[in-house]
Amino acid sequence: MYLFKRKDDLERHLSIARKEGKRIGFVPTMGALHQGHLSLISAAKENTDLVVCSIFVNPTQFNDPADFEKYPITIDQDILQLTATGTDVLFLPSVQEMYPNGLAPEMHYDFGPLETVLEGAHRPGHFQGVGQVVHKLLNLVRPDKLFMGQKDFQQCLIINRLIKILNLGVELVICPTLREQDGLAMSSRNLRLNPTERQNALHISRALYYIKDNLTKGSLKEITGDAINELKGKGFDVDYLDMVSILPDGNVDFPATPGKEPLFAVVAAREISSNVRLIDNMRVN
């Protein structure tokens, strides 16, 4: 695996690959890699000729400085896992390399109503930061296909829109969320949970399964209300637990109109004893 820390080295390497006719697959990450990330690498390997992964904990997308400081960093293990999975190139830039002119936004992205609901309502500025860094990375890597996980449901919709509004000409491939055997969605932030908190975190996916199993037994409002109360009782601050459906233009219909397809239950909740905020989502019809 090649490891590049500088943009120009990465660009030189990829321009040669492109001239050789290789199709490039790209998996952007913030490191602390788990099986979910590795499944994106595998999907990229199956569908393209050269797989680039980036690891960059992007400061501009953290609205909470404590979350940024505590973001897990496991770079040595990440490199071993990427090598074992057959990643061709790892891009590992510094903050200075990505933001030579400072962290202030260079442009504003028009993500429409998507930006201010759900995650956007609770993490102001988050999606502008995600847009900023993914835009920079796509301009550098210029992949044919971009691989992202459905775990970050709204992020996928935002990037879909970024690609459309800027006409970036890359295909977004959304891969399914991977879960631990007991149902917990794989996430880098799970590393911040001790065994008791990790056990408690299970209630998040349980809430989504509860909605899925009971969808026809009451109104959406009643069912989500029950699931929220259950989570609160188990020691969570619930930022949101809602139903959304995706409109043909890629926006979300929120709150969802009953009967719409596809319908997703989406949740963000803070496990109070660890103060770790987790997100998850599930298609329920």
Residues lying near ligand PAF in the complex (CB under 6 A): 28-30, 58, 61, 130, 133-134, 152, 155
Query: Which structure tokens are listed for 250?
Result: 């890629």
3-state secondary structure of 242: strand
Compare residues 188 and 200 and give the one whose CB is closer to ligand PAF: 188
Minimum distance from residue 130 beta carbon to ligand PAF (Å):
5
Minimum distance from residue 219 beta carbon to ligand PAF (Å):
33
Catalytic (active site) residue 37: yes
Compare residues 54 and 224 and give the one whose CB is closer to ligand PAF: 54
Query: Are the C-beta atoms of 181 and 153 separated by less than 8 Å?
Result: no
Minimum distance from residue 151 beta carbon to ligand PAF (Å):
8
Buried b (16+ CB within 10 A) or exposed e, 223-258: bbebbbebbeebebebbbbbbbbbeeeebbebebee
Minimum distance from residue 19 beta carbon to ligand PAF (Å):
27
Catalytic hit among 34, 37, 135, 203:
37
What is the Rg, in whole angstroms, of the alpha carbon atoms belonging to the chain?
19
Compare residues 90 and 227 and give the one whose CB is closer to ligand PAF: 90
Compare residues 38 and 133 and give the one whose CB is closer to ligand PAF: 133
Angle between helices 7-19 and 126-141 in degrees, nearest 10: 50
Minimum distance from residue 30 beta carbon to ligand PAF (Å):
4
Separation of alpha carbons 220 and 102, rounded Å: 45
Buried b (16+ CB within 10 A) or exposed e, 87-107: bbbbbbbeeebbbeeeeeeee
Compare residues 172 and 215 and give the one whose CB is closer to ligand PAF: 172
Candidates 13, 132, 28, 64; CA nearest to 270 is 64
Minimum distance from residue 56 beta carbon to ligand PAF (Å):
6
3-state secondary structure of 265: strand
Handedness of CA 75, 78, 84, 85 (dihedral sign): negative
A 10 A CB-CB count for 22 gives 15
Compare residues 30 and 79 and give the one whose CB is closer to ligand PAF: 30
Return the active site residues: 37
